[in-house]
Structure 1
Amino acid sequence: MPNRPALPRRFHRLALATLPALLLGACLDGGGDPPVDPLRVATADGPVQGAQAGGMRQFLGIPYAAPPVGARRWQPPAAVTPWTTVRDATTFGAHCPQPDTTPLAYGTPGGQEDCLFLNVFTPTSPGPHPVLVWVHGGAFYLGRSNGYTPTRLVEQGITVVTLNYRLGALGYLAHPALNDANGRSGNYGLLDQVAALQWVRRNIAAFGGDPSNVTLAGQSAGAASTLTQLLSPMASGLFHKAVLQSPPAITQPTGAAAQALGASTAASAFGCADDANAAACLRALPVERIIAAQPGGFSPLNGPNVDGAYLTATWRDGLAAGLAAKVPVLMGSTHDEFTAFQGQTELRTGAPLSASAYPAALAATYGAALGATVAGLYPLSRYDSPSLALSAAVTDSLFACGVRQSVRQLAAAGNPVWAYEFNDVNAPMVLQPAVSFAYKAYHAAEIQYLFDLPSTSLLNSAQQQLAADMLGHWVRFMRTGNPNASGSNTWPAYSRSDDRLLQFVPAASTVTAGFAADHQCAVWTPGA
């Protein structure tokens, strides 16, 4: 083949000069790849269109499971029906049905059964970013995903997922008529969380998150959920670290006990007899009737049961047996957990707890014999009010010592654990009206230091610094599984031999070994 003649040098210059215009023309004519829209993401189920706000990309109201309505009420979550047209993801999905708790700001009335939505908040920078999956609290019968704005977490390079899960009787009713082929029922809200974690594993990379670096976290019932997922074989491998903020020390019923309670409740509260028509009767109930008749609080009807598949042992027995996933854990409580609940009692009754009524309140909580013993352990002379005395006792028995016991069990099983106590006695309280005593470091007080809530703006300069310090520890834990900066041991990993934890206090956070004595854990968890 003859050699082609060389092109004149000036032709090279002309070609280089006109190349950008030619490429632009090709794009205008429809040639080449279209520009990438960072607010449009293709999930495994279909495309979604989000929005940018607050310095982060937000994708709201994404369904992660099929609506649990009709025949799907009281069934495990099913796969969502895929879609092909772009789904708007700029507004939150409906929250799950729950009662009105006014004047408290914990529950949001209304909602609808079609509520299995999640939200993704992610940095505008390229990933992969560590992922936080946050499970809201609310005693398993209150709460919603859209009460937690994670601006500062996302600014630190974290992709945050919040989710709804079924609540109350709709989420946890166990009943013989609802049993699967293996004789199991209940735990639906927790299975929803597993489905959301599976969604994260499949999809989060498309949003800039790292599916191999997922932290599961929550507060109160959200922490209890996280503990349950740590122990559940169904959640194995779906997350790599766990944060538990104030899980309550409650015991889970066996599957048989939960079903007996469910059948009794269905008959007495819902009007559905335990007969051949029970399942149809329950699924035909208006959702409003279920919400109005179901029990509130930490009821055995609301929460996990040991069904032998999703959960094979109670929390305490499972931790003692070393069944928890071997992942790093960050776990703690607030110093005055129960003041928020005691405040609710005062708001409901319209009167503070009196000194004369203190023994009866202890007997109602612990029984007559133990109540008398507790009165000696928590004498009124030590506290500013009977309400604070009762709150101290229940804080220690229901939260503080149970958290410490779980920390010790996890450490004994080989999990790296970092333990803390939040103790800002002046933490802002906007969740419920003022009462006759100070709420101090109440249940849920620490959330406003980590997420951007309306009350976060009320933090003074020392509290803002505490919030920054706490956020730094949490973010480092999400990134690496260790809350300390590289080379630092400011927050030592928990050791059963020295029993130390980090106490978060404005301007004076310190490592202390006095937690067990302060909360009388030798009484509440002897031998732990």
Structure 2
Amino acid sequence: MRINETSTRGLSVLSLLAPVSATLYDQTIQLAQGKVQGTAAFNESGAPSYISNWKDIAVWKGIPYAATTGGENRWKPPQRAPSWNGTMKATSFGPSCPSLSAGDGVSEDCLSINIWSPATATDAKLPVMLWSYAAGGESSQSTYDGAGMAAKDVIFVSYNYRTGPLGWLTLHELAEETGATGNYGLLDQIEALKWVYENIAAFGGDPESITVAGQSFGSGAAYHLVNSPRTKGMIKCAIAESGLKDPYDPDLWGYGSDYRNMTWAYAFSKTYAESLNATSVADLRSMNLETVLSGTGVSDFTGFDPVLNYHAIPNKYIVSLDEGAPNDVPILVGNNKDENGIDLSTTYTVAEYKSEINSTYGPYAAELLALHPAENTTQATAAYNSILRAGYCTSTWSWAKRWNQSSTEPVYYYLWTYSPPGSDGATHGSEVSYALNNLYAQTTSSYTDTDYEVANIMSSYWANFVKTQNPNKGGSYNNGTLPYWGPNVPAQQNTFELGSLWKKIAFATAKEIQLYLEYFKYATPSPY
């Protein structure tokens, strides 16, 4: 709903109003942009039996946090959010930002935000989780339904942001316009955080207790926000699911938290513009959306990434790790057992296994093969997956160790091992619905009591962390006592298993870890 863009930025919540009590979806919420009214997240016939406070959970969908990104606003930082007359009925998700996998309702007028709140008074000051979706995602996906987290007394916020060429195009002419180029998607993410910081009190939230969170590319978004000086003081803690790696790890490229250098990004974006016969930014802005999404490099979006422009991203990660990030906050981070190149449906002969390891690890291959011998296809497949798993777990563990060296705050490192119904292993993204406690919103009908209990434990750790910056404390678990999850200790080479054992386990041998740390520096002499 884009009616009147005359609001004054920074006024946000009209804080002089008396706190409102009762279910917030029955109330009109006053923002500086205008009045807004939400709706109930559940009705009596559809409410999950395990959510006792379902009657209190309100949801507001599609509230604009910035202006349209189309027309002359294309490849500009997010512009001032619109205001409106009357009361906005925030009961439907806004359009999705353009991507190759977005569903119906795609538009460049897409910068909107969604809020699930269990508060029964506007002065409840509940902690907040701001969720960034994975690559190709959209905030309306059922995977990111926020009512399950709201059931554990956490306000859950999701939002849309630009991606692909619309989010990351990097051109010299754009730099001349505003002093920086690229990272328009990251600027959207920063703007969404600012909007939440300024407005969430009206929905019963505490602006001084915001956790930035996400999975895969969304975990990269959370980490970019932690590392940006433009967000300093607005973040209480961070959750990064399947995204953070050692800055020397060559597999960081193409992963959730990666970025490109400016030389590469300028060349890639120049090729894209030339493929559309555009000689200026004005040419690109005059094109329709279908044309913009047809240029070279758009087919899988992998070349359009955040860039190290020393603006929204101020330093290499190695610098932030060595010197300390602008936001020194507790972080919960981890991996899934069967991701990052592991496909349990693929098998390897002994010859194929040895060839793959030799071609990837060069001078370190012989020692890795000796540590993981194989005499048949079954052993070769298991050994191949074990080597990959040890590598990405070592990478995230090494990142956590580096963070511990410059940070005063703890890191909680996990390995998700649970295989959901219909899934071939603990695959990439398989933990999200469990962590967000929203199995009720998914299409599968084969969840068992075990699934719901795994989700209860998993989401309780997440909710506790948002509440207290400690996954063990916060009162979120309603079925006894949570197994204790201690923070990462640099001298200990382990991780916390989530999904079955619920305890600290070894992810690799000391010899493997040392080999990988040496291999990382061999493969990437100049770190991220």
TM-score, normalised by the number of residues in structure 1: 0.78
State the AA in 2 paired with 1:475: A
Counting only pairs closer than 5 Å after superposition, residues 153-168 of structure 1 correspond to structure 2 as 153-168=149-164
1:167: how far off?
1.0
| 1:418 aligned counterpart, secondary structure | strand
Residues 329-378 of structure 1 deviation map (CA, whole Å, 9 limit, x = unaligned):
111111111367x58xx8xxxxx566489469848984877788877776
Residues 211-265 of structure 1 deviation map (CA, whole Å, 9 limit, x = unaligned):
1111110000010111111111112112111011000523422223322221123
1:407 equivalenced with 2:396 (yes/no): no
| 1:404 aligned counterpart, secondary structure | helix
Equivalent pair of 1:61/1:117 in contact (CA under 8 Å):
yes
Find the counterpart in structure 2 of residue 279 from structure 1.
281
Find the counterpart in structure 1 of residue 34 from structure 2.
46
State the AA in 2 paired with 1:135: S
| 2:131 aligned counterpart, secondary structure | strand
| 2:497 aligned counterpart, secondary structure | strand
| 1:526 aligned counterpart, secondary structure | helix
Deviates more, 1:75-84 or 1:175-184: 175-184
Residues 144 and 124 of structure 1: CA distance in aligned 2, closer, same or farther (over 3 Å): closer
Residues 360-400 of structure 1 deviation map (CA, whole Å, 9 limit, x = unaligned):
98489848777888777766658748776665555554x43
Residues 375 and 167 of structure 1: CA distance in aligned 2, closer, same or farther (over 3 Å): farther
1:328: how far off?
1.1
1:266 equivalenced with 2:273 (yes/no): yes
1:447 equivalenced with 2:432 (yes/no): yes
Find the counterpart in structure 1 of residue 99 from structure 2.
98
1:470 equivalenced with 2:458 (yes/no): yes
How far apart, in 1, do the equivalents of 2:308 and 2:399 lie?
Answer: 18
Structure 1, unpaired ranges of 5+:
1-33, 101-106, 347-351, 431-438
Deviates more, 1:142-151 or 1:85-94: 142-151
1:130 alignment partner, one of 127, 130, 139:
127
Residues 373 and 128 of structure 1: CA distance in aligned 2, closer, same or farther (over 3 Å): same
Residues 289 and 488 of structure 1: CA distance in aligned 2, closer, same or farther (over 3 Å): same
Find the counterpart in structure 2 of residue 118 from structure 1.
113
Residues 371 and 287 of structure 1: CA distance in aligned 2, closer, same or farther (over 3 Å): farther
How far apart, in 2, do the equivalents of 1:246 and 1:523 lie?
Answer: 22
How far apart, in 1, do the equivalents of 2:261 and 2:489 lie?
Answer: 32
| 1:458 aligned counterpart, secondary structure | coil
1:132: how far off?
0.7
How far apart, in 1, do the equivalents of 2:355 and 2:104 lie?
Answer: 30
Deviates more, 1:249-258 or 1:465-474: 249-258
1:197 equivalenced with 2:193 (yes/no): yes
Find the counterpart in structure 2 of residue 427 from structure 1.
420
2:148 alignment partner, one of 137, 149, 152:
152
How far apart, in 1, do the equivalents of 2:214 and 2:193 lie?
Answer: 14
| 2:293 aligned counterpart, secondary structure | helix
Residues 190 and 378 of structure 1: CA distance in aligned 2, closer, same or farther (over 3 Å): farther
Equivalent pair of 2:337/2:415 in contact (CA under 8 Å):
yes
How far apart, in 1, do the equivalents of 2:312 and 2:181 lie?
Answer: 10
How far apart, in 2, do the equivalents of 1:177 and 1:495 lie?
Answer: 47
| 1:196 aligned counterpart, secondary structure | helix
How far apart, in 2, do the equivalents of 1:53 and 1:162 lie?
Answer: 15
- Structure of larger gyration radius: 1
Find the counterpart in structure 2 of residue 209 from structure 1.
205
Find the counterpart in structure 2 of residue 77 from structure 1.
78
How far apart, in 2, do the equivalents of 1:359 and 1:35 lie?
Answer: 63
Find the counterpart in structure 2 of residue 103 from structure 1.
none
Residues 96 and 182 of structure 1: CA distance in aligned 2, closer, same or farther (over 3 Å): closer
| 2:85 aligned counterpart, secondary structure | coil
Find the counterpart in structure 2 of residue 28 from structure 1.
none
Q: How many residues align?
A: 462
Equivalent pair of 1:448/1:456 in contact (CA under 8 Å):
no
Residues 169-225 of structure 1 deviation map (CA, whole Å, 9 limit, x = unaligned):
111111112224565211011110110111101110001111111111000001011
How far apart, in 2, do the equivalents of 1:429 and 1:52 lie?
Answer: 31
How far apart, in 1, do the equivalents of 2:352 and 2:80 lie?
Answer: 52
State the AA in 1 paired with 2:265: A
Residues 518 and 286 of structure 1: CA distance in aligned 2, closer, same or farther (over 3 Å): farther
1:69: how far off?
0.4
Counting only pairs closer than 5 Å after superposition, residues 165-244 of structure 1 correspond to structure 2 as 165-181=161-177, 183-244=179-240
TM-score, normalised by the number of residues in structure 2: 0.78
Give the root-mean-square deviation of aligned CA atoms: 3.3
Deviates more, 1:143-152 or 1:466-475: 143-152
Residues 290-330 of structure 1 deviation map (CA, whole Å, 9 limit, x = unaligned):
3344346673x322111111112233442233225111111
1:523: how far off?
3.0
State the AA in 1 paired with 2:269: G
| 1:515 aligned counterpart, secondary structure | coil
How far apart, in 2, do the equivalents of 1:525 and 1:87 lie?
Answer: 54
State the AA in 1 paired with 2:518: P
Find the counterpart in structure 2 of residue 62 from structure 1.
63
1:480: how far off?
0.8
Residues 297 and 503 of structure 1: CA distance in aligned 2, closer, same or farther (over 3 Å): farther
| 1:62 aligned counterpart, secondary structure | strand
How far apart, in 1, do the equivalents of 2:92 and 2:351 lie?
Answer: 49
Find the counterpart in structure 2 of residue 319 from structure 1.
321
1:479 equivalenced with 2:467 (yes/no): yes
1:511: how far off?
1.4
| 2:128 aligned counterpart, secondary structure | strand
Residues 175 and 360 of structure 1: CA distance in aligned 2, closer, same or farther (over 3 Å): farther
1:456: how far off?
7.1
Equivalent pair of 1:98/1:110 in contact (CA under 8 Å):
no
Equivalent pair of 2:38/2:59 in contact (CA under 8 Å):
yes
Equivalent pair of 1:62/1:118 in contact (CA under 8 Å):
yes
| 1:166 aligned counterpart, secondary structure | coil
Residues 180 and 202 of structure 1: CA distance in aligned 2, closer, same or farther (over 3 Å): farther
Residues 460-485 of structure 1 deviation map (CA, whole Å, 9 limit, x = unaligned):
22332222111111111111111113
Equivalent pair of 1:146/1:162 in contact (CA under 8 Å):
no
Counting only pairs closer than 5 Å after superposition, residues 287-326 of structure 1 correspond to structure 2 as 287-293=289-295, 294-295=297-298, 299=302, 301-326=303-328
How far apart, in 2, do the equivalents of 1:156 and 1:314 lie?
Answer: 36
**Same amino acid, percent of matched pairs:** 26
Deviates more, 1:190-199 or 1:38-47: 38-47
State the AA in 2 paired with 1:119: N
State the AA in 1 paired with 2:434: Y
| 1:525 aligned counterpart, secondary structure | helix
How far apart, in 2, do the equivalents of 1:401 and 1:297 lie?
Answer: 28
1:510 equivalenced with 2:503 (yes/no): yes
1:285: how far off?
2.8
Find the counterpart in structure 2 of residue 3 from structure 1.
none
